[in-house]
Amino acid sequence: MSKNTHKLIAACAISMGASGLFYAQTASAQSAAGYPGKTIRLVVPFTPGGSTDILARAIGQKLTEAWGQPVVIDNVPGAIGADKVAKAPADGYTLLMGHIGTLAVNPSLYPNLPYDPIKSFAPVAWVARVPNVLVVHPSVPAKTVKELVALAKAKPGQMNYGSGGNGSAANLATEYFKLQTGTSLLHIPYRGTAPAVTDLVGGQTQLLFTGAPAVLSQIKNGQVRALAVSSPKRMDALPDLPTVAESGYPGFEADQWYGVVAPTGTPADVIAKLNTQINQALSSAELKNRLNAEGAIATPDTPANFGKLIAAEIARWKPVISGGRVKAD
């Protein structure tokens, strides 16, 4: 074969490669331009009515208004819901409203989890963070975090705390608090946050470290006393309440958080379009005010930063779960 023929074949190969790249880029751009062209299904791995469901419906409504395509909320509780999304076509039409438990805690709680939060999903948008609030029954004499810690250390293992169940966000936040403060507290697990709050108000338990929406009205009514909030900054809903970090434990942070993920392999331009629209919704005064009223904080950010959060949280909660010997119900 002559040198000229070799050159001709090489030139054709380069031309075909360039053409293939051009058509691939064009097809990708067209898919993003035409997206969404049908109903989007947003899976919530919890029953209706909880914070994850409320946030999913708020975001879904905004996407529907912006794009004119319906966003259907599909409540599929537990790992089944997340696995359903992990195995769905990677086309942007099946999404998951993830939670700290779904994406960061479950890998350390369940050895046979059917999905991998890092490998199975592509991060789309960090939606919100919900600070946990440390509250005590009025009969507990502590007025500050330091006073509570001193009281707990004086009576190791005698003070108790409630939670929504073994492995729940409240359970983990309190176990993290125990590790950071060197205290020993007896865990009383309940089947859900509502009964845990009810028994705290009734004096059956002494303290609770749970999401702000669950205890805001009880704090304002004086049924429980708030000592601190788990977020890095104070909450707009409780501006006079100090953070745990301000209360003598620098670096303490134990918020719940929520975000949207898609199956791995979803086109990057579709993810970018979703991220832009969700961030616009989160930046609107209407949704910000709605979230603030619920004790949640909107967190518009990039998919890359949301992915970093997921990885960092998996690493952070693993030693808390093993150190506290936390077991799932």
Quick: pLDDT tens for 43-64. Answer: 999 888 777 888 899 999 999 9
Looking at per-residue confidence, does 139 or 297 come out higher? 139
Q: Which residues, 6+ apart, have CB-to-CB distance to 63 below 8 Å?
A: 40, 69, 71, 277, 278, 281
d(CA 218, CA 223): 5
Identify the band that residue 294 occupies on the pLDDT scale cut at 50, 70 and 90: confident
Average pLDDT value for the chain: 88
pLDDT of residue 23: 38
Q: 10 Å Cβ neighbour count for 307?
A: 19
For 88-141, write each residue's pLDDT tens digit. 999 999 999 999 989 999 988 888 899 999 999 999 999 999 899 999 999 999
Q: How far is CA 168 from the centre of its chain?
A: 13
Q: Which residues, 6+ apart, have CB-to-CB distance to 46 below 8 Å?
A: 52, 53, 75, 77, 81, 99
pLDDT of residue 329: 64
Q: Show the tokens assigned to 86.
A: 């992990």
For residue 180, what is the enclosing H or E element? helix 169-181
Identify the band that residue 321 occupies on the pLDDT scale cut at 50, 70 and 90: confident
Q: For the chain, what are the domain ranges?
A: 36-130+256-323, 132-229
Rounded to 5 degrees, φ, ψ at 97 are -90, 95
pLDDT at 12 over 70: no
pLDDT of residue 102: 92
Closest CA to 106 of 91, 125, 121, 95: 121
Q: Show the tokens assigned to 25.
A: 């880029």
Mean pLDDT in residue range 206-217: 90
Question: Of 123-127, 284-288, 321-325, which has the strongest mean pLDDT?
Answer: 123-127
Let me know: does 138 contact 227? Beta carbons within 8 Å: no
Mean pLDDT in residue range 67-84: 94
Looking at per-residue confidence, does 214 or 98 come out higher? 98
pLDDT at 8 over 80: no
Let me know: does 256 contact 132? Beta carbons within 8 Å: yes
pLDDT at 21 over 80: no
Q: Do domains 36-130+256-323 and 132-229 have the same CATH topology?
A: yes
pLDDT at 189 over 50: yes
pLDDT at 222 over 90: yes
pLDDT of residue 10: 44
CATH 3.40.50.720 fits 132-229, yes or no: no
The CATH fold assigned to 36-130+256-323 is: D-Maltodextrin-Binding Protein; domain 2 (3.40.190)
Q: How far is CA 254 from CA 8, 87, 152, 260, 316, in A?
A: 63, 30, 20, 20, 10
d(CA 123, CA 103): 10
